[in-house]
């Protein structure tokens, strides 16, 4: 493992230890709810969004990650996991496998999966809003507001609703881009901004380049996801693997062609890295994560 992968692994462990403690048996949770929540949350995700929170904090500050950075990393992963649990439900994407394991509604049942998703969503806001020593309340409120906007009807839920209302309908490139900017991009952008806010960076002038960077990597993440899907690397039990370009789900490769999508991916990567380079050497790890997002194989 090189230094960057070790650091990434360190962030993964750091957030997983906190998630594990949050939903442990000591808290006298209803046993089935507890098991379903743990299944949805602690089943081997890459923890990219928490890594973005920590690395964005690192980009903006020499100080070690603080309580708010940790809370933001935990909260964003709770929201992400809830969205996957609900997205997998029969009423939405109807998936049997997630992260190589049966999805929550298969391992448990539909009602349990719905409740676990609901509870994970609330847990995100409970955890980020909890009182703590040395936590500036105004900053905490701003972070909560940002996470709520990115998750709800202006962000991820809007993207999901747009996606569901356009099943089997053709999308233009602009519509596809807008859909993903909300469905997956909003949470990725929130991760970057939450990390910066936890480092005390609050001026719009300073946040704008990071917002621009995060929009670019949100798009790049989705294009790579589409490319991996075509290459047959994603978990699509019961669905065609190595799918052709004309399936009913609109994708970047379907609209741009395989080579066009790859070219766009590399353009987005290069533009994103160019922004980070303006921050100097503290950007090195975030640049490495940006490389990873574009070159990941799962």
Binding mask 43-62 for ligand GRG (x = CB under 6 A): --xx-x--------------
Q: Is 192 in the site for ligand GRG (CB under 6 A)?
A: no
> Cα–Cα distance between 152 and 262 in angstroms, integer?
30
H/E element holding 126?
helix 110-129
Q: Is 157 in the site for ligand GRG (CB under 6 A)?
A: yes
CA angle, 298 as apex, 252 and 12 as ends, to 5°? Answer: 125
Q: Is 249 in the site for ligand GRG (CB under 6 A)?
A: no
Eight-class DSSP state of 74: H
Three-state SS annotation for 77-97: HHHHHHHHHHHCCCCCCCCCE
The region of 65-73, 84-92, 130-138, 238-246 touching ligand GRG under the rule CB under 6 A is 84-92
The region of 7-15, 155-163, 203-211, 285-293 touching ligand GRG under the rule CB under 6 A is 155-163
User: Mapping DSSP to helix (H, G, I), strand (E, B) and coil, where does residue 173 land?
Assistant: helix
Tell me, by CB under 6 A, how many residues bind ligand GRG: 16
Nearest in space to 143 (alpha carbons), one of 85, 204, 87, 190 = 190
Residue 203, φ and ψ in degrees, nearest 5: -75, 135
Cβ-closest position to ligand GRG: 45
- Residue 48 or 254: the one with the smaller Cβ distance to ligand GRG is 48
* Chosen residue from 123, 156, 192, 223 binding ligand GRG by CB under 6 A: 156
CB 94 within 8 A of CB 232: no
Q: Is 185 in the site for ligand GRG (CB under 6 A)?
A: no
> Cα–Cα distance between 200 and 105 in angstroms, integer?
40
Q: Is 15 in the site for ligand GRG (CB under 6 A)?
A: no
Q: Is 114 in the site for ligand GRG (CB under 6 A)?
A: no
Residue 188 Cβ vs ligand GRG, minimum distance, rounded to whole Å:
9
* Chosen residue from 83, 112, 214, 243 binding ligand GRG by CB under 6 A: 83
Nearest in space to 54 (alpha carbons), one of 45, 42, 63 = 63
Q: Is 183 in the site for ligand GRG (CB under 6 A)?
A: yes
- Residue 206 or 295: the one with the smaller Cβ distance to ligand GRG is 295
Q: Is 99 in the site for ligand GRG (CB under 6 A)?
A: yes
User: Mapping DSSP to helix (H, G, I), strand (E, B) and coil, where does residue 297 land?
Assistant: coil
> Cα–Cα distance between 51 and 44 in angstroms, integer?
14
Tokens 């964005």 locate to 56
The region of 8-16, 76-84, 165-173, 199-207 touching ligand GRG under the rule CB under 6 A is 76-84
Query: Per CB under 6 A, which of residues 205..234 are in contact with ligand GRG?
Result: 225
Q: Is 160 in the site for ligand GRG (CB under 6 A)?
A: yes
Q: Which residues pair with 97 in a beta bridge?
A: 102
Residues making contact with ligand GRG (CB under 6 A): 45-46, 48, 80, 83-84, 86-87, 92, 99, 156-157, 160, 183-184, 225
């Amino acid at each position: 493992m090189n230094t960057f992968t070790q650091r990434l692994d360190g962030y993964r462990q750091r957030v997983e230890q906190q998630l594990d403690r949050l939903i442990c048996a000591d808290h006298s949770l209803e046993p089935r709810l507890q098991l379903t929540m743990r299944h949805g949350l602690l089943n081997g995700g890459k923890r990219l969004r928490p890594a973005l929170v920590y690395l964005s904090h690192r980009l903006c500050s020499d100080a070690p990650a603080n309580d708010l950075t940790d809370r933001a990393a935990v909260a964003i992963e709770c929201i992400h996991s809830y969205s996957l649990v609900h997205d997998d439900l029969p009423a939405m994407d109807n998936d049997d496998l997630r992260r190589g394991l049966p999805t929550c509604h298969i391992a448990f049942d539909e009602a349990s999966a719905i409740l676990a998703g609901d509870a994970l969503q609330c847990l995100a806001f409970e955890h980020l809003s909890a009182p703590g020593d040395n936590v500036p309340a105004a900053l905490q409120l701003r972070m909560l507001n940002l996470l709520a906007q990115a998750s709800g009807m202006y962000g991820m839920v809007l993207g999901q609703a747009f996606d569901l209302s356009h099943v089997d309908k053709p999308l233009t490139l602009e519509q596809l881009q807008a859909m993903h900017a909300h469905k997956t991009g909003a949470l990725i952008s929130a991760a970057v901004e939450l990390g910066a806010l936890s480092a005390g960076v609050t001026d719009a002038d300073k946040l704008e380049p990071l917002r621009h960077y995060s929009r670019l990597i949100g798009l790049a993440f989705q294009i790579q996801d589409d490319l991996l899907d075509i290459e047959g690397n994603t978990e699509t039990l019961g669905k065609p693997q190595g799918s052709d370009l004309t399936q009913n789900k609109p994708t970047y490769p379907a609209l741009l062609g395989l080579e066009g999508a790859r070219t766009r991916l590399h353009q987005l990567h290069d533009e994103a890295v160019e922004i980070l380079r303006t921050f100097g050497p503290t950007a090195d790890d975030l640049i490495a994560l940006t490389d990873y997002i574009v070159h990941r194989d799962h």
